[in-house]
Structure 1
Amino acid sequence: MTDDAPELRASDADRERVAEVLRDALAEGRLDMTEFEERLDATYSARTYGDLTPITRDLPGGSVDGPPRVSMTKEPERAGDWAGRITGGAGSSTWAVAVMSGFQRKGRWTVPRRFNSFAFWGGGDIDLREADFAHDEVVINCVAIMGGMNVIVPSGVEVLVRGIGIMGGFDHREEGVPGDPGAPRVVVTGFAFWGGVGVERKLTRAEKQRIKEERRQEKLERKGRKELDAPRHGLHGLHDLHHEERERRRET
């Protein structure tokens, strides 16, 4: 994490990167459950880089030899080419657990070939809209016991749902939508008991902004056409008045 600008606002992706370090520390025994929950609460309530920095200061950031830092360097905007988002290698996050709580995977992260998630009396969001993919086919395995999860996929991705529900279910509405050439396939599988796993397709922030800008431009163009047409309508109206006056004089 950058220390030279602690007053800068942290993003959701920044908070999620810190949360991932905490989850790894919990799995490795570096934190107990109480410490983990306290730091996780502080992470998701953090507003600036300065708030996030102390949370992982005493934890390794993935390198044994390096200092315990979490990189918050902003990456350049990616092009919309799917080939650039299928990176190969390992995922940046491979599992998530929510027990009477919740979790989020969102922003820029790398989806592994298989991502495992578990929710008991809790829930989670697995957002793939801004993610890279370790393979052209990834499996999102969801186990929801008296809880729920939501898998959000970007447009252009093919979705297959293979989960089993008992007094619960998996959402199949996004199945059957053809994927874009070169786009990854997302297979949603798992088990839901008294719970559910939703699958929905949403636009990215950039796509929403592009559509908003296109609509704004269309409104400006319509307004411009109306302003150009107004003088012509005025001349037509004047011509009609002259015609009506000539007809009236003929009748008299």
Structure 2
Amino acid sequence: MMDFEHPDIRASDADRAAVTRILENAVGQGMLTLDEYSERVDVVLAARTRRELDTVIADLPHIRHRPAPAPPEVLRGWMSSMSRRGQWTVPARLRLVTRMCSTTLDFTSAVLQSPVVHIDIDDYFGSTELVLPDGATADLNGVGNVASSTTVKVTASPPSQRLHVVVAGKMRFGSLTARHPFGTTLKRLLS
């Protein structure tokens, strides 16, 4: 089954094991000979991407179960100031639950676990700033505002291959801004 969402993502050992199990079941049901099985397992072991794995099982009826996505990391704050700067590790999914907080998530030196970061925001009376490196993009269209402002000062599309931040959720009586570090535009003009 082709992975239409991310066919060129690198294959993991778990992906290879899942495809090998599908091939073993196919042999057990008489769909493949042992020689065909052996040839295909060689391809599985050498596969670098999910697309390569999917070609091995494209002619077989199967359901490849994807592992459940990891739960999002949760950042909570109440009447405080929260900041993530420097080389902090950014998970692929982040949940931000804040009440009357000033929050800054600076991605300029961050260690990314995925080039796409999904942030689910649940905020009352707060201000949240996302500081993105030059070339990064952001999509804040999934944010519902109640007496709030959402400002995108970075490119929204096409999504950056380096870092694309997607924010969804609710802002109530607060503000959300996605921007580059101060001076980025000036540096670009002077270069």
**Bin of the TM-score, shorter chain as denominator length:** 0.5 to 0.7
Give the AA of the match of 1:111: V
Residue 153 of structure 2 corresponds to which residue in structure 1? 173
* 1:138 equivalenced with 2:117 (yes/no): yes
Structure 1, unaligned runs of 5 or more: 1-89, 219-252
| Residue 166 of structure 1, CA deviation | 0.6
The percent of aligned pairs where both chains have the same amino acid is 19
**TM-score, length-normalised on structure 2?**
0.53
Q: Please say which structure displays the higher CA radius of gyration.
A: 1
Cα deviations by residue, 1:9-50 (Å, 9 ceiling, x for unpaired): xxxxxxxxxxxxxxxxxxxxxxxxxxxxxxxxxxxxxxxxxx
Contact 1:156 1:178 in 2 (8 A): no
Q: Bigger relative contact order, structure 1 or 2, given CA contacts below 8 A and separation 6+?
A: 2
Aligned length: 119
Residue 96 of structure 1 corresponds to which residue in structure 2? 75
2: CA distance, partners of 1:173 / 1:156: 12
Q: Deviation above 4 Å: which 4+ runs of structure 1?
A: 177-180
Query: Aligned ranges for residues 37-48 of structure 1 at < 5 Å?
Result: none
Given the alignment, which residue of 101, 109, 119 partners 1:122? 101
Contact 2:124 2:174 in 1 (8 A): yes
Residue 163 of structure 1 corresponds to which residue in structure 2? 143
Structure 2, unaligned runs of 5 or more: 1-68
Given the alignment, which residue of 161, 165, 168 partners 1:186? 165
| Residue 155 of structure 1, CA deviation | 0.7
Contact 2:152 2:179 in 1 (8 A): no
Give the AA of the match of 1:198: T
| Residue 185 of structure 1, CA deviation | 1.4
Question: Higher strand fraction: Structure 1 or Structure 2?
Answer: 2
**TM-score, length-normalised on structure 1?**
0.41
Cα deviations by residue, 1:28-75 (Å, 9 ceiling, x for unpaired): xxxxxxxxxxxxxxxxxxxxxxxxxxxxxxxxxxxxxxxxxxxxxxxx
RMSD, aligned α-carbons: 3.1
